[in-house]
Amino acid sequence: MSKIMFIRSAAVVLLPLACFGVIAGQGPAATKERSHVERFSTPEVRAERSEGDATARLAANPKDDEALNMRSVARMRLGRYSEALDDLRAAISLKPTNAEYQANFGYVLWKLGRAEEAVAAERAALKIDLKNTTAHYQLGRFLLRLGERKDLNEAISELRRALELDPRQFEVRFELIAAYRELPDLAQAAAQLDVLQDSRPTDPRVFYVTGLLDADRNDLSSAVRNFNEAIKRDPTLYGAWQDLGLAYIKASRWDEAVKVFSDLAQRQPSSVEAAYFHALSLYNAGNMAQAEQEARRALRVDAGAVEAHTLLGIVLASRGNANAEAADALSQAIALNPNSFDAQLYLGRVQYALKDYAGSVRSLRAAVLLNPRHVEARFFLGTALESAGDSDAAMAEYQSLSKSDPDSAIGQLGLGALLVKQGKVSEAVAVLRRAATLDPSEFEAHWALGRALALQEKYADAVASFEKAIALAPNRSDAHYQLGLSLKRLGRTAEANREFAIVDRLNTEFRTSSSPK
C-alpha cells in the first residue's frame, strides 16, 4: 500500500490586516503617546475602548466617516466582522472616494468568506488610488490564497508594488516568498528571505520559511533544524509543527512524525489535518489500532474529510477481517470526491478481496483514468479483469503496462501470472524471471516464478524461488506450503514436513487471533 498521502501544507504565515502598516482612519491619533494603562492593556481591551470612543463620536455625529472606519477596525480586531462590514458600508457611502475604506472593506469581505467581492473591493480601492499600499498588498495576498495558477503573476506584481511603495513592510516579503515558491522560483524566494534574515534575524517565521525553502531543495536535515528552531521560539506557530511532521514523513521517519503530530493534535484538538497526519504516521509506523482510533477522531472533527475516510478504509483493510467496513469508508470518500485516486484504488483492492470482481474492475478503471501512469493501478486492474473472467482484457492491460514501462517488475509479474493460467508456462517463466530480476524485493515475483517452475517440474529451482519469497514474507503460509510441496517432490521429506508444520501454525494463529493485523 502507498506510504504517503499528502494534504498540501500551509506555505505562509497568515498575517492580519492589523499587522500591515497603519490602519486607515487612525490618522493623527495613532501618533499620540499612549498612557501606561493603554500600553499594558490587552489588544481586546484596547479594541473595546476604541469601539466605545468611535460610538461616542457617532452619537454626536452619525455622518462621521472617520469614526465609522475607526469602529469597523475595532470590531475587526474583536472578530465581529458583520458589524465591521456595516460600518464600512456606511463610511463608503459617505466618502466613496476614500481608498483606505475600500481596502478595509475588502479585508472584511475576505474574512466573511466572500472572496470574489473582496478582490473586487481591493481593485476598486486601486482605481481610486494607485499608490494605496494596503490595497496592493491585500489584492496580491487574496489572489495568492485563491490558488489559481493564472493569477499568480498578478499576485506577485501586486505584492512587489506594495513593497516598492513601502520597503519597510516585511510581511509583504513573507507573501512574496510563498508566491515565488508556487512558481517555483526558489532563487527569487531566497532573495526575499535574505532580506528578512538580515532585518528580522530572531523572528520565528524567518526560521519557518527558511525550513520551507530547505524542504523545497530536499535538504530535509536543514529543514528539520529550522522548523524546530521556529517552534522553540514560538510554540504556537502551528504551520511549522505541521511542516516538521511532513519533513519526517517525506524522510520515512515515521516514529518522529508520530511524536510531532501527536503533540500538534494535542495543541489543536479541533484540527482535522493534525488528526489525519497523526493517523497516517501511526499507520506507517505499524500502530494500526491507534491509527484507526485517530482516523475516526479526524472524521468526528470533520465528517467531510475525504483523506480521513480513505485512510480509515486503508487501515481497516489492513486488519484482514474488516473489508466490508473498509469498503464503506472508501465508498464514502468517493461519494465526497469521485476524483480521489487513492479512494478509487483502494476500494478496487478491497472489492477484489471481497470477490466483488465487477465492482473492483469499475473502481480500478476509475483509478486508472485519474492516473494512467500509476503502475500498481494498472496491474490491479489487470488482476481484477482476469478474476472477472475477461482474460483478453487482462492480457491487453498487462501488455500495455509492459510496453509503456518495460522495466516495471509488477507489469511483468501480471503478464507472467496470466501466461501461467493460459498454460504458456515456458513463456511465463522467462517473463517472471525478468520480474524477479527487475525487483528482487518483490515477494509475488519470486512466488509466481516458483509456481511456474514447479509446473515445469524443475523443483530444485522452484525451491530456490520459494525460499527467496519466504525470506521477504515469512508469514505467508501459501509460500511455505508451495515450498513444502516442492521439497517433497525432491524427496526431502523432513524439510517438507517442517514447512507443512509452519503452515499449520500460521493458519491456526490467523484463525484464533483477535487483534488487528
Query: Where residue 277 sits, what CATH number does that domain have?
Result: 1.25.40.10
Is 252 part of any domain?
A: yes
Is 240 part of any domain?
A: yes
Q: Which pLDDT score is estimated for 6?
A: 42
Q: Which pLDDT score is estimated for 35?
A: 55
Is 497 part of any domain?
A: no
Q: Could you report the per-residue pLDDT of 425-475, keeping only the tens digit for each?
A: 999 999 999 989 999 999 989 999 999 999 999 999 999 999 999 999 999
Q: Which pLDDT score is estimated for 400?
A: 82
Residue closest to 3 by CA, chosen among 253, 183, 208, 240: 253
Q: Which pLDDT score is estimated for 407?
A: 79
The parts of the chain modelled with pLDDT lower than 70 are 1-41, 512-517
DSSP string, 284-333: HTT-HHHHHHHHHHHHHH-TT-HHHHHHHHHHHHHHSS-HHHHHHHHHHH
Residue closest to 153 by CA, chosen among 144, 163, 145: 144
Give me the helix-helix angle, 443-455 and 477-489, nearest 10°: 30
Q: Which pLDDT score is estimated for 415?
A: 83
Is 218 part of any domain?
A: yes
**What domain range includes position 210?**
202-303
Is 246 part of any domain?
A: yes
Is 210 part of any domain?
A: yes
Is 259 part of any domain?
A: yes
Query: CB–CB of 384/364 below 8 Å?
Result: yes
pTM of the model: 0.75
Q: Which pLDDT score is estimated for 41?
A: 67
Q: Which pLDDT score is estimated for 27?
A: 38
Number of domains in the chain: 1
Is 295 part of any domain?
A: yes
Q: Which pLDDT score is estimated for 33?
A: 55
Give, in order, the Cα–Cα distances in Å from 186 to each of 5, 179, 214, 216. Answer: 24, 10, 10, 8
Q: Could you report the per-residue pLDDT of 313-370, keeping only the tens digit for each?
A: 999 999 888 999 999 999 999 999 999 999 999 999 999 999 999 999 999 999 999 9
